[in-house]
Amino acid sequence: MVIKMGLFNSMLEKTLYDEEEYNKIRSESEQRVKKFQDKIVDLNNKIDSLVACDGNYYDIKKYKFILSYNETLLEKAEELNNEDIWIREARRKPLAFSNMFDMTELFRNMKFSSPEQDELFDWKHNINFQEAPIPESRRIAELKKNEKDKYLSELEKYIEDYKICEKILNTTSNNCYLSKRLPVFEIAVDCFNNENYLPFICLAVPQIEGMFTDFMNIIGVNSSGNSITTKLERLNNQDRLWGYIYYAFDFPKIRNNVAHGYIIKSNLKEIANDILLDLVYIVKMIDSQELEYKKIINFLEDINKEDDDKDKSKKVLDRFEIYGNMTIIDDEIYAETDEDIYSEIKDEIKSEENFFNKLFKDDLSDVLEWYNLKSSLDDLKRILETEVFRNSLIESKMHISLKKRIMICFLNNRISFPDEWKKDLCKMTE
């Protein structure tokens, strides 16, 4: 069902704003600006103190990054700190829709509550215990603050309970980008399990930097350069990296000790536990189902499960069934669809076109060969050129303009269709 947002917005515009609500919104806005102004003053003072006492290079860089982040948030807060917005927000809060606009307020506040703005946020803890339920993670965080020995025991227990070593080795052996590191990981994990922590650290730390380079290459970020901080800055600017502050400003301290051949003598066990959890974190990043190459692999494997060409054809067309029936409505309803929703539909369709463009390019040839899927790609091309697929496309309830886009997408990827069929389809779109 398509919501007629124009009528909905019109109702809101006619609603007189509530003065109490206006005062609340104004107060929150002004307090938000002051909070960031105070934060910026505090961060500048801390940076000045670090510079004055010749503080650690990476600590200064970290505070400067957090300062810059808060300065950006202050700019956004100041943009919202004006009379017109206060009135508009107050007007958009009628009683009948209070729950809906409580969500709007929540999303607005979320823009100003990211952990990157807080120098006290414990990134390493959140990386270490990413698989633990939130209550368990919070309980362990309290132990870290107040009872270090109990915390270290919980850290070891977590690694054992969640089978971290097994996950590293299993995932690495089954991933085309990670498998080259398997011989190193097998030796490193053996060192870890036998409590040979120093050689484990020396083996594992360079692999973390190497895997970040792999990840950048996978998602198309320039990975050139020798400094891990420079590389990660480039990565974070293009594709926000959860844990960036830790990996760019804290991890390099131990990385440099290992790279320069310094012997680490204290807290070996704790450092080794932390490094092991860094390994599994980045291994999971590279093996994430959200990455384009994994989506392509899963799609081809899904196609392989079907024996019938008609079912395989349906798998292809199903990728374009966005928002349920939203892609089968006619132009008149499209015209009445809220602009944001319509824009999302177009973006989703474009995303699917890009998916197939990527699938048919030669860039992933080695990846598909590693997963034994090159023949599956050839079979997909065969299916797309069959009468079965063409009939499935014609008979589908998709809007005709979408059918044409699908046809053009595959034509651009050198899929052959009979000339007469192309003419017939084009006539249907006129």
Tens digit of each residue's pLDDT, the chain (430 residues): 344 455 445 444 445 667 788 888 889 889 999 999 999 999 999 999 999 999 999 999 999 999 999 999 999 999 888 888 778 777 765 544 444 445 555 555 667 778 899 999 999 999 999 999 999 999 999 999 999 999 999 999 999 999 999 999 999 999 999 999 999 999 999 999 999 999 999 999 999 999 999 999 999 998 887 788 899 999 999 888 999 999 999 999 999 989 888 888 888 999 999 999 999 999 999 999 999 999 999 999 999 999 899 999 999 988 887 544 444 444 444 444 445 555 666 777 888 888 899 899 888 899 999 999 999 999 999 999 999 998 888 888 877 778 888 888 888 888 888 887 777 666 664 4
Alpha helices by DSSP H, listed for 162-267, are 164-173, 182-193, 197-219, 228-238, 244-249, 251-259
Residue type for position 374: K
CB atoms within 10 A of CB 75: 10
- Alpha carbon separation from 215 to 128, 241, 369, 422 (Å, rounded): 19, 11, 19, 41
Please report where in the chains the tokens 């844990």 appear, as a residue: 243
The pTM of the full predicted model, rounded to 2 decimals, is 0.83
Helix (H, G, I), strand (E, B) or coil at 153: helix
185 and 207 Cβ atoms separated by less than 8 Å: yes
Ramachandran region, residue 147 (left: φ > 0; alpha: ψ -120 to 50; beta: rest): beta
Burial of 410 (0-12, 13-18, 19+ CB in 10 A): buried
CB distance 421 to 391 below 8 Å = no
pLDDT confidence of residue 322: 56
212 close to 235: Cβ distance less than 8 angstroms: yes
Sole residue written with tokens 């700190």: 81
Tally the residues of the chain.
Answer: 430
CA–CA distance, 284 with 279 (Å, rounded to integer) = 9
Query: Up-side HSE of residue 387: CA atoms within 13 Å toward CB?
Result: 1
